[in-house]
Chain A
């Protein structure tokens, strides 16, 4: 039976009945399999937060992935701090029963940690990988929380202790994991950020289009039908009533004896009158002012782990197909691929002696394959990469957009020959899966002859768009 471990605050003799007592320094020395969760005292919440950060920034999966529960006795701890843990126990109600209840509640996380190979001895140095494992171990959808304590305006509380103050790093890491199909995002909101300092704290304000002052007033325009007098509503106000200054008649029914044709703004600085106030933003952090269109707009998403992501969290990023393919075939970055494309196009156009082909390949339902294969993914993908290696030649250039999309430049290969190579690739795939699994791989392929007028970016994006 796993036990809760109360991490004793530094320079303190506090204890928690029902929980094992441990100091921060001793954490690495105990068998983490016995730990149900780390219980952190939040009497001084900043110290408690430091302890949480220390745990999450540890490289050992057995330590940083462990659930953390806060022991609190006040309600004034910021929401994004509280939600960075699995939950809170009130000091007043903390007893054996509660602690055991929490131990049961977080048991699925502990079991997930337990099934990891090398959880005790491993060392996760890649921050993206740690993020992936944290999310996978909790089996949750990671939702953003609005906050005034971070410049970014949004936090993912569970991930905060991993990153500390480098809060923009969180968004970048999540974005990277999504681009690799390891996480999938769900739209939550769209937010403006300062183009200079990335702060989310922008004051959107209406200003005078002439002098940029924000000291402006707006007033409704009133048109009295009877005498055609038209002025701001303030000109008509006489106590609670509206009385026309021109004909001294009371305005009673809007639409019958008067209407309000528009709203007019007046600048108190330069006396300019206008109807289209300019919108500007000023950043609370760096103080810079600029138009909204010059600020950065980002989509804020909630993230959950994809099937590929689950596999990667279990067996490491090395188990991914691209990693294996990279080892066997030497994958180029997309930029290098594009550079080579330009050189090859120039060469073909210059000599006009031979032809080269661009092959675009997309695998469908590869995530299902990850789920099916589990720990065997590495072996199958190794086989798959061998098929690639057999079909492609040393002189071919290959890059991967992600786990499922590959682009190949087949040098000195006509479209016809490239199609034959793709056929062989398909046959190899079918043979592999037919003999090993009950799985029919689907793939889309497009072949283009390299020529001067071919725009690489447009072609690649066109392929991806049409293939959806």
Chain B
């Protein structure tokens, strides 16, 4: 009955009405996330095939040079994950790797586990800081004691695919202007809960496809802390990471400002553990979304302003992010008010049609991700398709509410400065300094 009504309602709509009722989808989301992604991926896949010889040449050069690569892992209370991570490094196709682990004031048995691994030669350098200094200082400690020509930063609760280190290094050998390479991040614990299944799809969409597209467009704005490769000389020029949260996005912009390219390599795969409950997921996203305001709008505002060092790509990287996430976040609430006030009688139809539109868009995006990543996907990754019907609710409602709340809290209360993610002593200083 209701389906018939919906069909009848759609059939009776003029083009103008369609745009009036569904403008967020047709004018913005479909254009940006579906058409643009589609075009870029269509061009990217054959480009990869064409560039195969360039890729092989880079690989030969990498193995001829065989530089030391430092995998740095800062973290607190992450000891239980380190043995698996060390093991995954041990089996890498690329062998000249050192593992540098920094224990940032753990109060569990992390130090005991890591010292044992250090004795076994599975960790080359282990530094324990008795007092917690925060993620950035731990990353900087690890960087300070690393010796590699390239630095791969990964989260402790992650492990790498066997060719991940080799693959993340290759872009450096294909283009000398590349300063950093973002590795692909996939969900390691997808089977654990509904929340992790939905995040697995989200990661395929927003990281694997989304960042590949941004990278191809030259507007990649973040290299995930969970998996990122950096040139040592570039990090040395920056003296490492600044205080977070959001330090990965921050350093990416700083690298861009130095004039280096940053790219995403979807075939360099890292599996990471994501929050298993919606509550923990909300807390994580609350932290991530606030950093958008703090770093893009506040700290790196200069990118958006005309100056002698103005760079269009950098401007676009920041502006696109601010526009599609921050500004368009407001659009949803305007749209919601518009429908409730002006079209309350067809509210349920508009909701159902929107749901179907976004569901179809997600199906297409999932297909694009599968085409892009097929070489590195496992059978169980395809099975995620069963959860696609839930994605509009997940991204359209759950994540949107969290994001809006995060923006409000950061704009009006500077909530990120109170976040326990940083030690209090650090938060005090950065708040005082308005960093």
Contacts and interface: CB of A to CB of B under 8 A. Distances in A.
A binds B: yes
Interface of A: 209, 221, 223, 225-232, 245-246, 255-257, 259, 261-262, 264, 271-276
Given A225-B429, A259-B425, A275-B126, A230 B133 contact: yes
Contacts of B241: 228
Nearest to A227: B242
Give chain B's interface residue range (CB within 8 Å of chain A).
35 or more
B145 A273 contact: yes
Given A221-B129, A226-B435, A227-B243, A276 B137 contact: no
A27 B204 CA distance: 104
Given A221-B127, A226-B429, A255-B425, 18 more contacts: A225-B426, A225-B430, A226-B430, A227-B239, A227-B242, A228-B134, A228-B140, A229-B239, A229-B240, A245-B239, A246-B240, A259-B425, A261-B131, A262-B127, A262-B129, A275-B126, A275-B127, A275-B128
Contact of B140 (A229, A256, A262, A272): A229
Nearest to B132: A261
5 contacts: A223-B133, A227-B239, A229-B240, A230-B138, A259-B131
B144 interface: yes
A223 B428 CA distance: 15
Interface string B410-435: 00000000000000011011100101
Interface of B: 105, 115, 118-119, 125-131, 133-134, 136-141, 144-145, 147, 239-243, 247, 425-426, 428-430, 433, 435
Contacts of A274: 118, 125-126
Nearest to A257: B429
A223 to B, nearest CB: 4
A17 B241 CA distance: 88
Contacts of B131: 259, 261
A113 B155 CA distance: 82
A262 B240 contact: no
A245 B144 CA distance: 13
Nearest to B131: A261
A230 B137 contact: yes
Of listed A223, A229, A256, residue having the most chain B CB within 10 A: A223
A230 B136 CA distance: 9
A102 to B, nearest CB: 61
A185 to B, nearest CB: 38
Nearest to A235: B144
B425 A262 contact: no
A248 to B, nearest CB: 10
Q: Which of B105, B137, B140 has the most CB of A within 10 A?
A: B137
A261 B130 CA distance: 6
B425 A225 contact: yes
Contact of A221 (B126, B141, B240): B141
Contacts of B128: 262, 275
Contacts of B138: 230
B113 to A, nearest CB: 14
Which residue among A225, A255, A259 has the maximum number of chain B CB atoms within 10 Å of its CB?
A: A225
B136 to A, nearest CB: 4
Nearest to B433: A226
A275 B145 CA distance: 12
A261 B140 contact: no
B240 to A, nearest CB: 7
Contacts of A273: 125, 127, 145
A246 B254 CA distance: 14
Choose among A246, A259, A261, A262 the residue with the greatest number of B CB atoms under 10 Å from its CB.
A261
B134 to A, nearest CB: 7
Contacts of B140: 228-231
Contacts of A221: 127, 129, 141
Contacts of B105: 261
A228 B126 contact: no
Contacts of A264: 127, 145
Contacts of A275: 126-128
A467 B234 CA distance: 74
Contacts of B133: 223, 225, 228, 230, 259, 261
A273 B435 CA distance: 32
Contacts of A261: 105, 129-131, 133, 137, 141
Of A229, A230, A271, chain B has the most CB atoms within 10 Å of the CB of: A230
Contacts of B139: 228
A256 B141 CA distance: 19
- Counting chain A CB atoms within 10 Å of each CB, the highest count among B139, B141, B147, B243 belongs to B141
Contacts of B242: 227-228
A271 B145 CA distance: 10
Contacts of B118: 274
Contact of B144 (A230, A257, A271): A230
Contacts of B433: 226
Nearest to B428: A225
A276 B125 CA distance: 11
Contacts of A231: 140, 144
B270 to A, nearest CB: 23
Nearest to B146: A273
A245 B241 CA distance: 14
A226 B432 CA distance: 9
A264 B133 CA distance: 16
A271 B105 CA distance: 25
A232 B425 CA distance: 20
A458 to B, nearest CB: 33
A456 to B, nearest CB: 39
A261 B145 CA distance: 15
Contacts of A225: 133, 243, 425-426, 428-430
Contacts of B243: 225-228
A209 B119 CA distance: 8
- Nearest 4 pairs of A and B residues by beta carbon: A228-B136, A261-B129, A246-B239, A225-B429
A395 B235 CA distance: 87
Contacts of B125: 272-274
A123 B84 CA distance: 75
A278 to B, nearest CB: 10
A273 B118 CA distance: 11
Contacts of B137: 223, 228-230, 261
Nearest to A209: B119
Nearest to A225: B429
A269 to B, nearest CB: 15
B65 to A, nearest CB: 20
Contacts of A226: 243, 429-430, 433, 435
A271 B131 CA distance: 25
A225 B136 CA distance: 10
A231 to B, nearest CB: 5
